[in-house]
């Protein structure tokens, strides 16, 4: 049976947590808070982050030869999302999930 190595599994877990956190926060907290939380640029970035995390999981799961490239992009988008969320109240969980994912993806991209 083929096993996923522990570093890849940890990255997939971090991507999954970031995907769920960004999607949940965008569609609930940000929309309900309104104002700067619901500005199009911020919302698009959060949804981009959630989506690239999902894509990264897929590429790692099938051990695509391009998974490192996707993880590199994922880390970049996660850092941008964390920086955007850091500017807003109540977004600490999203900032933390994005940073964990960015760090894990950086390791996978190396």
Dump pLDDT digits (tens) for 49-93.
999 999 999 999 999 999 999 999 999 999 999 999 999 999 999
74 class by beta-carbon count within 10 Å (0-12 exposed, 13-18 middle, 19+ buried): buried
CATH fold of 6-109, please? Substrate Binding Domain Of Dnak; Chain:A; Domain 2 (1.20.1270)
- What span, in angstroms and rounded, lies between the C-alpha atoms of 74 and 19? 11
Name which residue leads in pLDDT, 107 or 2.
107
Confidence (pTM)? 0.94
Q: Is the pLDDT of residue 2 over 80?
A: no
Dump pLDDT digits (tens) for 20-32.
999 999 999 999 9
What are the extents of the domains in the chain?
Answer: 6-109
Chain-centre distance of CA 69, in angstroms? Answer: 15
- What span, in angstroms and rounded, lies between the C-alpha atoms of 35 and 21? 20
Average pLDDT over residues 2-17: 91
Q: Is the pLDDT of residue 5 over 60?
A: yes
Q: At 34, is the secondary structure helix, strand, or coil?
A: coil
């Amino acid at each position: 049976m083929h096993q996923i190595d522990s570093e890849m599994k940890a990255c997939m877990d971090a991507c999954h947590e970031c995907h769920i956190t960004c999607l949940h926060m965008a569609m609930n907290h940000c929309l309900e808070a309104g104002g700067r939380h619901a500005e199009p640029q911020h919302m698009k970035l959060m949804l981009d982050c959630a989506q690239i995390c999902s894509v990264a999981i897929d590429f790692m799961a099938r051990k695509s030869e391009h998974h490192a490239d996707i993880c590199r992009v994922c880390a970049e988008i996660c850092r941008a999302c964390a920086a955007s969320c850091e500017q807003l109240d109540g977004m600490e969980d999203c900032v933390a999930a994005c940073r964990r994912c960015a760090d894990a993806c950086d390791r996978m991209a190396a």
